[in-house]
Amino acid sequence: MESIWTRQRTAAPARETLSRDQIVKATMELLDTEGLAGLSMRKLAARLDSGATSLYWHVQTKDDLIDLVIDEVYGEIDVPDAELAGWRPGVLLFAHSLRAAVLRHGWLPEVIYTRPSIGPKAITLGTRGLALFAAAGFSGRDTDYAMGSVMSLVLGLTSSEAVAQRTLRKAGQTAEEWTGEILAEAKQVTAEHPEMHESLRRRSAVDFAQLQNEQFAYGLDSLLDGLEKRLTP
């Protein structure tokens, strides 16, 4: 699978005023408003008030656009220096920053595993992230597995949040209206299952945003507790 990061870049003509940065910004805006289904070279050219030919000096395919914007999102994620933050506070900041980025760009879960994340900002994030786990005392493959586990947890939990947000926007409903309808139906079918019924009662006692925040914090803290125990001799 060829990537824009490994392909030799062709120099644009001197008269060409469109830049790669402009293309990335416009692509991000298009994806944030219309999602992956709304991304096309034609729409992007129209947004940039440019001809498709100008685009092709910088990108050859839609995959190139995806590679560029994924790397741009990686650049938004905060990964602190382990010596300044400490490994666990640093990982917490990294995880919450990653979650925030996914929620800002709800299309990201659909593509983050479909293209190689080898752009310059992804490499910087990976290097700094691995340093956090190395500072904790992980070594060798354990360093890779620890960081991978945290990223998988964040992306797994946050992807469902992003889907819920898209669903709400399409339906024109508030989170309370949407969850209220689902819970009302669920309570009917779980009436004869007390454990599930009680679980639904607990979840309906708090608003949707609070529930998502608490679930994320619980999962992340539990994972980090487990990782810390692996470091204990």
pTM of the model: 0.86
- Average pLDDT on 67-96 reads 94
User: What pLDDT is recorded for position 226?
Assistant: 96
Query: Would 55 be classed as within a structural domain?
Result: yes
Q: Do 48 and 83 sit in the same domain of this protein?
A: no
Spatial contact of 220 and 95, defined as CB atoms under 8 Å apart: yes
What is the C-alpha to C-alpha distance for residues 134 and 146, in angstroms, rounded to an integer? 10
Query: Would 110 be classed as within a structural domain?
Result: yes
What is the C-alpha to C-alpha distance for residues 38 and 226, in angstroms, rounded to an integer? 41
Q: Do 68 and 179 sit in the same domain of this protein?
A: no
Q: What is the CATH number of the domain that holds 45?
A: 1.10.10.60
- What 8-state DSSP symbol labels residue 204? H
**Could you give the number of structural domains in the chain?**
2
Query: Would 9 be classed as within a structural domain?
Result: no
Residue at which a domain ends, from 28, 50, 73:
73
User: What pLDDT is recorded for position 116?
Assistant: 85
Residue at which a domain ends, from 29, 50, 73:
73
Q: Do 68 and 55 sit in the same domain of this protein?
A: yes
**Closest to 226 in 3D by CA, of 160, 153, 156:** 153
User: What pLDDT is recorded for position 15?
Assistant: 62
Query: Would 4 be classed as within a structural domain?
Result: no
- Sign (positive or negative) of CA dihedral 39, 44, 45, 46: positive
Q: What is the CATH number of the domain that holds 149?
A: 1.10.357.10
Query: Would 193 be classed as within a structural domain?
Result: yes
Query: Would 163 be classed as within a structural domain?
Result: yes
Q: Do 189 and 144 sit in the same domain of this protein?
A: yes
Residue 128's contacts (CB-CB under 8 Å, 6 or more residues apart) are 79, 80, 81
Q: Do 28 and 100 sit in the same domain of this protein?
A: no
Query: Would 1 be classed as within a structural domain?
Result: no
- pLDDT tier at 164 (50, 70, 90 boundaries)? confident
Query: Would 89 be classed as within a structural domain?
Result: yes
Q: Do 100 and 52 sit in the same domain of this protein?
A: no
136 pLDDT exceeds 90? yes
Q: Do 38 and 119 sit in the same domain of this protein?
A: no
Domain span at 146: 75-231
- Side-chain-facing half-sphere of 32: CA atoms under 13 Å: 14
Residue 189's contacts (CB-CB under 8 Å, 6 or more residues apart) are none
Q: Do 88 and 123 sit in the same domain of this protein?
A: yes
Q: Do 82 and 175 sit in the same domain of this protein?
A: yes
- Average pLDDT on 103-123 reads 91
Residue at which a domain ends, from 47, 73, 99:
73
Q: Do 116 and 182 sit in the same domain of this protein?
A: yes
DSSP 65-114: HHHHHHHHHHTTS----HHHH-HHHHHHHHHHHHHHHHHHSTTHHHHTTT
SS (H, E, C) 208-223: HHHHHHHHHHHHHHHH
Spatial contact of 151 and 98, defined as CB atoms under 8 Å apart: yes
Per-residue pLDDT tens digits for 193-209: 878 777 777 777 678 78
Q: Do 63 and 87 sit in the same domain of this protein?
A: no
Report the range of poorest mean pLDDT among 47-56, 75-84, 100-109, 119-128: 47-56
Q: How many CB atoms lie within 10 A of CB 195?
A: 8
